[in-house]
Structure 1
Amino acid sequence: MVDELTPETVRERIDRGDEFDLIDVRGDDAYADGHLPGAEHVTIEELEETVVDRDWADDVIVYCYVGKSSIQAARLIEEYGNAESVASMAGGYDAWEPVEASTAD
């Protein structure tokens, strides 16, 4: 079962400087338009091809548009990757934007 983290929790982990892989599985244009600080862009298709060979951090957080595709991606990493903990960001980038806006004030 993949854990889901709130955008606020992800923001706190970024602010603390916690070490984890932050993976954005949205499309190229969406990533170019904006993404979480430190996020790496890996499409679902790329993930399917590289999940086994990649050296994952102990902790991985995945996000997408609204939190659905990221659950699938997190399950893929959990099953085939070497990470100890994998989570999806609940609500995806849509839920992140208000959190980011509130911390920018």
Structure 2
Amino acid sequence: MVEEFTPETVRERIERDDEFDLIDIRGDEDYAEGHLPGAEHVTVDELEETVVDRDWADDVVVYCYIGQTSVQAARLIEEYGDAERVASMAGGYDAWEQQKASAND
């Protein structure tokens, strides 16, 4: 079972400058419109093609729109990649934006 991090946990890891791969698997336009700080854009198709050959960080966090496709992508990395710990961000980018908005209220 893929571990899930809350958006708050991911934000804290970014702020602490933890070393991990942060992977955004959303579409090109959505990534261009906004993404998490330091996130790398890798589409699902690109991920399937490169997962085995890529040199992954020990920790990887994947996110998508609502946190469902990212669970599948995290499983793919867990199965075929060389990362030690792979997680999906619960609720995806939508939850990140909601958490960010409520923090600014």
> What letter matches 1:89 in structure 2?
M
What TM-score, normalized to structure 1?
0.96
1:8 Cα deviation from its structure 2 partner: 0.4
1:98 Cα deviation from its structure 2 partner: 2.1
Give the whole-Å Cα distance in 2 for the aligned partners of 1:62 and 1:36.
11
Partner of 2:80: 80
In structure 2, stretches of 5+ residues that fail to align are none
CA offsets per residue over residues 8-42 of structure 1, 9 Å max, x none? 00000001110000000000011011000000000
**Percentage of identical aligned residues:** 79
Root-mean-square deviation (CA, aligned residues, Å) is 1.1
What TM-score, normalized to structure 2?
0.96
In structure 1, stretches of 5+ residues that fail to align are none
Partner of 1:64: 64
**Paired residues for 1:34-49 under 5 Å:** 34-49=34-49
Could you say what secondary structure the match of 1:86 adopts? Answer: strand
**Corresponding pairs, count:** 105
> What letter matches 2:68 in structure 1?
K
